[in-house]
Each structure stands twice: as structure tokens, then as C-alpha cells.
């Protein structure tokens, strides 16, 4: 297939673009490089620099596209709370421009990068796709609005859409000469932050809260390897059906606490990694664990790489990038 990957210069979009190429697809990346890196676009994919609003119409009208994989987004929860309008404009507004361009060019398949943040504070775990969606910040709300829009475009315009709701993505793609991992300018994620301390970049890990109702008091999250996540996108791409919008969670079904993650990082790196307890981070639910039964049942997906593999690959990537 000929596929447009929006946000393909970012962490997850770049890894998925590489896996698409390896599977024999033709890939065009559209990215404004506001947070992505041109060198994260794998060789073999062409890069168009621009926003969805300015460029998706021109790119798609170039012709021959079968599908869009849509990763381009703002994704910092704190920033979304400080500036909600930016998230509605960049996430929902630019997606509407993309969908309009898709309609004009008659491209009918889309796989969208949604998030566990659409659920908010869960009533029960593991979280199924039928759980209530009550996002607690504008980032999650803007992603949920896109899921809703896709469902409507499927119903009203015959679009075939899949929303993949990621839980905590980690690890890196290391494949021969190719190394693609997390390189955010503002790094909020736990694993790269812990590994930075292992590399001597900072004194101690800050663990946000140790008084949650969890076995060791720190928050529990469900981590999934970016390469397993990429495999789910390829399955979803094949599964898009005209007039249907499906939502699938992507996680491992098991949870690890912040302390456990720090311990795995110590074991993998062989470094002591000092850690201290800090205040809770506002808006963090105590436990987020996915049920990925639906995607297992319908598309046959299941994760193959455990937390140790995620940390090991992230560590190889980060230490080589120094
Ligand atoms: N966390 C932490 N210290 C950090 C970064 C994150 O204690 O430097 C905690 C955070 O409060 C959450 C978990 O690690 O409980 C995972 O956070 P992350 O930002 O990686 O992902 P999120 O679950 O927010 O999507």
C-alpha cells in the first residue's frame, strides 16, 4: 500500500514508518518537525515538511494513497492544561483538515494514534474499550474528540478507521544500522528520565508520589514495547473496513509500579540510579492497566517484549546517542 504517515519524524511514527517499509509498503511522511527530527524518518520514506492544515491536501491530491497513519499531535499533558486551545487547534482542528483532504483525494483508511488518557480515572481495571471515557485533561479530551469524529466519518462518509489507544509506550527499534527511540526535547516519560539519571544527567529520579493505593504506594502503569505497538498498526491497517470505526487498547495487561520500573532500570544498566520521592504529579491516576483482549481476539495481536526488553532497548539507544 501507499501510506501517508503524519508525524513520522517522531518517536512512534518513525518506528511505524520503518516497519511499514520493511513490510513492503510505500511511505510518505508529513511532519512539521516542530518536535520531530528529520533523521528519525527512515531511509526509503520521503519527507514532506509541513502542517496537516497547510500540506495534507497537496500531498494526498498527489495521488495513489491507500491509507493514512496519523501520529502528528501535541502530546504533553501539562502543556495541554496550561494551553487547552492549542490542543483543540493542533489535535482536533488539524485532524479535521486531514480528514477533509482524505475525502477530497478519496483515501478511505485511517489508523489513529489515540491514548489511554481518553479514559481518565478508571472505575475498574483492566480497562476495556467499553469503559467510560472521561478524560481529565485537554490532551485526552482532544484525542477522544478525534476518536468520536472518526466514528462519525465512518458512519456518515464510509471511512474505515481504527483508533489505537496506547498505554505507556517504551523501548526502541534497533534493527541493523537503524536505531529509533525517544528523543523528546521536553522529556516527561518515566523510563527515559530514569535512564538519563543512569547516564549521569541529573542527581536522582523523582518519583511522583508514594502514597497511592498501590502495593508500594507508587503509580502502576502498563508498558508496551514500541516495536510490538508498531506491529499492531500494521494489523490495524489491513483490518480497516469501509464504514466501520474500531477502537483497540494497546497494552500488555500487566502493571509495574514506578519503583519496580526504577529497579528494572538498575538491573539492566548495572548502575545504582538514586531515586527520591517527590510530590504527586497532578492528574495521575493510581493504576492504569489495559485489557488488550479485543485486539488479541479480533486481530491476533499480542505483545512479545517484556519490560526488561523495553528498558534494555531504550538503554542501548540512549547510551549510543550520547
Ligand atoms: N513518573 C515519575 N517520575 C518521572 C516521570 C514519571 O515518577 O520523572 C511517574 C508518573 O507520575 C506516572 C508514571 O511514572 O505515575 C508514568 O509516567 P509517564 O509520564 O511515563 O507516563 P503517563 O502514565 O503519564 O502517560
Q: Decide: 114 and 166 in contact? Cβ < 8 Å.
A: yes
Predicted pLDDT at 170: 97
Q: Is 193 in the pocket of ligand 1 (CB under 6 A)?
A: yes
All cell numbers assigned to 17: 514508518
**Ligand 1 centroid, distance to 5 Cα (angstroms):** 27
Predicted pLDDT at 108: 96
All cell numbers assigned to 302: 499480542
- pTM (predicted TM-score): 0.97
Q: What's the count of helices (H) and strands (E) in the chain, helices before strands?
A: 11, 16
DSSP string, 28-43: EEEE--SSS-GGGSPT
CA dist 120 and 136 (Å) reads 5
The enclosing H or E element of 208 equals: strand 205-208
Sign of CA dihedral 77, 119, 256, 164: negative
Q: Hunting for cell 508500594 — which residue is that?
A: 216
Which residue is catalytic, options 11, 119, 139, 256? 139
Q: Which residue CA neighbors atom 3 of ligand 1 most closely? A: 207
Predicted pLDDT at 178: 87
Q: Is 169 in the pocket of ligand 1 (CB under 6 A)?
A: no
Using only the alpha carbons of the chain, give its radius of gyration. Answer: 19
- Helix 138-157, helix 94-105: angle, nearest 10: 20
Query: Which regions of 79-151 does DSSP assign to beta strands (E)?
Result: 109-115
Q: Work out which ligand 1 atom sits closest to the CA atom of 278.
A: 7
Q: Work out which ligand 1 atom sits closest to the CA atom of 194.
A: 8
Q: Work out which ligand 1 atom sits closest to the CA atom of 220.
A: 15
Q: In degrees rounded to 5, what are phi and psi of residue 153?
A: -65, -30
Q: Decide: 207 and 258 in contact? Cβ < 8 Å.
A: yes
Q: Is 189 in the pocket of ligand 1 (CB under 6 A)?
A: yes
Report residues of the chain scoring pLDDT below 70: none
CA dist 247 and 274 (Å) reads 39
- Look at strands 205-208 and 220-221 and give their pairing: unpaired
**166 flagged as catalytic:** no
All cell numbers assigned to 265: 532500570
Q: Is 190 in the pocket of ligand 1 (CB under 6 A)?
A: yes
Q: Hey, which residues does 172 pair with through a beta bridge?
A: none
Predicted pLDDT at 184: 77
Length of the chain (residues): 322
Q: Is 196 in the pocket of ligand 1 (CB under 6 A)?
A: no
Predicted pLDDT at 53: 96
Q: In degrees rounded to 5, what are phi and psi of residue 114?
A: -95, -170
Amino acid at each position: 500500500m501507499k501510506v501517508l504517515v503524519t508525524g513520522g519524524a517522531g518517536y512512534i511514527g518513525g518506528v511505524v514508518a520503518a516497519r511499514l517499509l520493511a513490510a513492503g509498503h510505500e511511505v510518505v511522511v508529513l511532519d512539521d518537525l516542530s518536535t520531530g527530527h528529520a533523521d528519525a524518518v527512515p531511509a526509503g520514506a520521503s519527507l514532506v515538511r509541513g502542517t496537516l492544515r497547510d500540506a495534507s491536501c497537496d500531498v494526498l491530491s498527489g495521488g495513489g494513497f491507500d491509507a493514512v497513519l496519523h501520529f502528528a499531535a501535541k502530546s504533553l499533558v501539562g502543556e495541554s492544561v496550561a494551553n487547552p486551545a492549542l490542543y483543540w487547534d493542533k489535535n482536533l482542528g488539524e485532524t479535521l483538515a486531514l480528514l477533509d483532504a482524505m475525502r477530497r483525494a478519496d483515501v478511505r483508511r485511517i489508523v489513529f494514534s489515540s491514548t489511554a488518557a481518553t479514559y481518565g480515572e478508571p472505575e475498574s481495571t483492566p480497562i476495556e474499550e467499553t469503559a467510560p471515557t472521561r478524560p481529565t485533561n485537554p490532551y485526552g479530551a482532544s484525542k477522544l474528540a478525534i476518536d468520536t469524529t472518526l466514528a462519525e466519518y465512518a458512519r456518515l462518509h464510509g471511512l474505515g478507521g481504527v483508533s489505537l489507544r496506547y498505554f505507556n509506550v517504551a523501548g526502541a527499534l534497533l534493527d541493523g544500522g537503524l536505531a529509533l527511540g525517544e528523543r523528546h526535547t521536553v522529556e516527561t516519560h518515566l523510563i527515559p528520565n530514569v535512564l538519563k539519571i543512569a547516564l549521569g544527567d541529573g542527581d536522582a529520579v523523582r518519583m511522583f508520589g508514594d502514597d497511592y493505593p498501590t502495593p508500594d504506594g507508587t503509580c502502576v502503569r502498563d508498558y508496551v514495547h514500541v516495536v510490538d505497538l508498531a506491529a499492531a498498526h500494521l494489523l490495524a491497517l489491513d483490518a480497516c473496513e469501509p464504514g466501520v470505526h474500531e477502537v483497540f487498547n494497546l497494552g500488555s495487561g500487566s502493571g509495574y509500579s514506578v519503583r519496580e520500573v526504577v529497579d528494572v532500570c538498575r538491573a539492566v544498566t548495572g548502575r545504582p540510579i538514586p531515586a527520591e520521592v517527590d510530590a504527586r504529579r497532578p492528574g495521575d491516576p493510581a493504576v492504569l492497566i489495559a485489557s488488550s483482549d479485543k485486539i488479541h481476539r479480533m486481530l491476533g495481536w499480542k505483545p512479545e517484549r517484556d519490560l526488561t526488553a523495553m528498558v534494555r532497548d531504550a538503554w542501548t539507544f540512549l547510551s549510543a546517542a550520547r
